[in-house]
């Protein structure tokens, strides 16, 4: 069976889980304690990071974007990367936006301070400056997402693509923590309701991290 | 004429310049003062970062990896992205390694402290802890590069690929500042001599940043 080494609240792991689910590919999740830097895991990925995909034939693919492009190339019946170089460029630009800019400006500040710090730097409290920055920044990102969605059916055009998946992977983590004021972002909310109702999101919405419960509306398909 | 908005010592801009040169495509460099956040530039790339490519027909492509994949798809006579999904995955893994891990662990520490800080935070001095970390880390990265090069003709296999270009883009910036002790990294040095002698590297090796001269051996094809 195909295996995905992951970490529950990692948006990058979620991105790959969503792609595998969209493609209806079976896989087994292996929760990897990356902080232990297990030798066996470092042999799979010298970068020491999740996600890592191990195919049934032993092929190892590391890095979420690399895995997603690989899956889409090998299982290309419902393409998530568009059909022309210019379409792909727009999809990849938005993937880089959410994986890079959103992750640095929002997720690192909120997940980093509220969860990772608590777990890995026991006794230390979240930096309120980081929390404030993360909450302000998420608003700007949702405004941009809403602006795109006003002009398109999905974020990169007429179809669901890797851009929507990268965005959902990040946003679902922030929404798990209850850090989004949806009432202020009607357009972005419409987009999130649309992607939340896809079967590929079911497993993600069922995630529960022990000792760190989700916001009350996290799994609701309609929410405030 | 095709235009590339760039910044001289940005490894990401260099990556695109190298790809355009490898593909023998004409282009004009436009040095973009990203720190000014010019409205006209933000319309090209709302992320506000270089590089941005503007094609003659007006097509805008932002983000170095997106631009590189786009150029390789459109001008695919001498492919830099391999020919199978597994080859591409290995190439992309290494591109992500140099763009991400190397850039964070080495370039941000050295270029950030020695150049960007001097320029943008006038009066502040480089953090010696960061400089030390950058210099130690570059050694580990060159060891890994050497290990790959011992097993392969180029970093990702038998041919020059985007992996070599991403590595050369980062390493040329560090070597500009003289922060590599090449005598300790014979294998990596052989690889760097090989890529340095390619015509595509000529323009990069001719770069001179006003007030921030390169190391004495920066442009030499044989060096210590």
pLDDT per residue as tens digits for the range B69-120: 999 999 998 899 999 999 999 999 999 999 999 999 999 999 999 988 877 7
Q: Are B190 and B148 within 8 A, CB to CB?
A: no
pLDDT at B154: 98
Q: Is there a contact between A70 and B86 if contact means CB atoms under 8 Å apart?
A: yes
What pLDDT was estimated at residue A160? 98
Q: Report whether pLDDT(B45) > 80.
A: yes
Nearest to B66 among A63, A73, A96 (CB): A96
Distance CA A52, CA A10 (A): 12
Asked if residue A211 has pLDDT above 90, the reply is no
Element (H, E) at B31: strand B28-31
Residue pair B175/B216 in contact (Cβ under 8 Å)? The answer is no
* Chain position carrying tokens 């210590």: B224
Measured CB to CB, residues of chain A less than 8 Å from chain B are: 46-47, 59, 61-63, 65-67, 69-70, 73-74, 85-86, 88-89, 92-93, 96-97, 101, 144
CB contact under 8 A, A88 and B73: yes
Backbone angles phi, psi at B3, to 5 degrees: -120, 140
* Chain A environment of B93 (Cβ under 8 Å): 61-63, 66
Closest CA to B64 of A153, A103, A93: A93
| 8-state DSSP, B209 | B
Give residue B163's pLDDT. Answer: 98
Disruptive mutation site among B48, B51, B65, B66 for chain A (greatest number of A CBs within 10 Å): B66
DSSP-derived secondary structure letter, B222? S
Q: What angle do CA A113, A117, A121 make, to 5 degrees?
A: 150
CA distance B44 to chain A (A): 12
Q: CB–CB of B86 and A59 under 8 A?
A: yes
- Do B69 and A59 count as a contact with CB atoms less than 8 A apart? no
Residue B219 has pLDDT above 80, yes or no: yes
* Least confident residue range of A50-64, A89-103, A108-122: A108-122
Q: Are A211 and A21 in contact (CB under 8 A)?
A: no
> How large a percentage of chain A has pLDDT more than 70?
100
Query: Which residues in A26-43 are b (16+ Cβ under 10 Å) and which e?
Result: ebeeeebebeeeeeebee
Span A211-219, mean pLDDT? 93
Cα(B2)–Cα(B25) distance, integer angstroms: 9
Closest CA to B27 of B54, B65, B61, B45: B54
Q: Do A92 and B69 touch (CB under 8 A)?
A: yes
pLDDT at site B65: 98
Do residues A103 and A11 lie in contact, with contact meaning Cβ atoms separated by under 8 Å? yes
Can you tell me the mean pLDDT for A49-68?
Answer: 97
Of A62, A74, A96, nearest to B65 by CB-CB distance is A96
User: What's the rounded Cα separation, in Å, for the pair A21 and A14?
Assistant: 10
**Nearest residue on chain B to A91, alpha-carbon basis:** B66
Q: Which of B42, B54, B63, B98 to mutate: most A Cβ within 10 Å?
A: B63
- pLDDT at position B85 is 97
Domain boundaries, chain A: 3-74, 85-205
Q: What is the pLDDT of residue A119?
A: 75
B→A interface, C-beta within 8 Å: 46-47, 59, 61-63, 65-67, 69-70, 73-74, 85-86, 88-89, 92-93, 96-97, 101, 144
Q: Do residue B65 and residue A97 have CB atoms under 8 angstroms apart?
A: no
**Segment B138-151, tens digit of pLDDT:** 999 999 999 999 99
**Interface contact A65-B93, CB threshold 8 A:** no
Where does B85-205 sit in CATH, by number?
Answer: 1.20.1050.10
In the predicted model, is pLDDT for residue A16 greater than 90? yes
Strand ranges (DSSP E) for chain A? Answer: 3-6, 28-31, 52-54, 60-62
Mean pLDDT of A133-155: 97
Average the pLDDT over A16-42 and give the result: 96
In the predicted model, what is the mean pLDDT of residues B120-131? 85
pLDDT value of position B118: 78
CB contact under 8 A, A89 and B65: no
CB pairs under 8 A between A and B: 54
Q: How confident is the model at residue A127 (pLDDT cuts 50, 70, 90)?
A: very high
Cβ-Cβ contacts under 8 Å for B147 (sequence gap 6 or more): B187
Q: Which residues of chain B does A73 touch, with a Cβ-Cβ cutoff of 8 Å?
A: 85, 88
pLDDT value for A210: 87
- Could you give the CA distance from residue A108 to residue A125 in angstroms, rounded to a whole number? 15
pLDDT of residue A176: 97
Looking at residue B121, its pLDDT comes to 74
Q: Which CATH superfamily is domain B3-74 in?
A: Glutaredoxin (3.40.30.10)
Section A161-182 average pLDDT: 98
Question: CA nearest A49 in B: which residue?
Answer: B101
In chain A, count of helices (H) and strands (E)? 10, 4
Could you identify the residue written with the tokens 């020695």?
B114
Residue of chain A with shortest Cα separation from B144: A46
The answer to whether A189 and A182 have CB atoms below 8 angstroms apart is yes
pLDDT band at B17 (very low <50, low <70, confident <90, very high): very high
Chain A partners within 8 Å of B85 (Cβ):
70, 73-74
Instruction: Say if the Cβ atoms of A63 and B92 lie within 8 Å.
Output: yes
Q: For B165-193, what is the mean pLDDT? A: 97
- Is residue A51 exposed (0-12), middle (13-18) or buried (19+ Cβ within 10 Å)? buried
Residues of chain A neighbouring B96 (CB-CB closer than 8 A)? 63, 65-66
pLDDT at A70 over 80: yes
For the complex shown, is ipTM > 0.85? yes
Average pLDDT, chain A: 95
pLDDT in the model for residue A174: 98
Any idea which residue has 């990040």 for tokens?
A170
What integer pLDDT is reported at residue A116 of this predicted model? 82
Chain-chain contact of B101 with A47 (C-beta, under 8 angstroms):
yes
Is A69's pLDDT higher than 90?
yes
């Amino acid at each position: 069976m195909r295996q995905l080494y992951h970490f529950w609240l990692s948006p990058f792991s979620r991105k790959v889980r969503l792609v595998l689910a969209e493609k209806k590919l079976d896989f087994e999740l292996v929760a990897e304690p990356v902080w232990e830097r297990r030798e066996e895991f470092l042999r799979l990925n010298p970068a020491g990071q999740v996600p890592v995909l191990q195919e049934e034939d032993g092929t190892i693919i590391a890095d979420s974007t690399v895995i997603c492009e690989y899956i889409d190339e090998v299982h290309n019946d419902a393409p998530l990367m568009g059909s022309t170089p210019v379409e792909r460029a727009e999809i990849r630009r938005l993937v880089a936006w959410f994986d890079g800019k959103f992750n640095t400006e929002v997720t690192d500040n909120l997940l980093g301070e509220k969860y990772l710090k608590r777990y890995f730097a026991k006794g230390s409290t979240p930096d309120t400056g980081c929390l404030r920055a993360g909450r302000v920044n998420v608003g700007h990102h949702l405004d941009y997402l809403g602006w795109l969605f006003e002009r398109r059916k999905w974020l990169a055009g007429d179809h669901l693509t890797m851009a929507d998946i990268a965005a959902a992977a990040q946003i679902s983590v922030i929404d798990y923590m209850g850090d989004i004021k949806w009432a202020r972002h009607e357009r972005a909310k419409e987009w999130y309701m649309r992607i939340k109702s896809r079967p590929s999101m079911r497993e993600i919405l069922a995630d529960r991290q022990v000792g760190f419960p989700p916001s009350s509306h996290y799994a609701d398909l309609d929410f405030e």
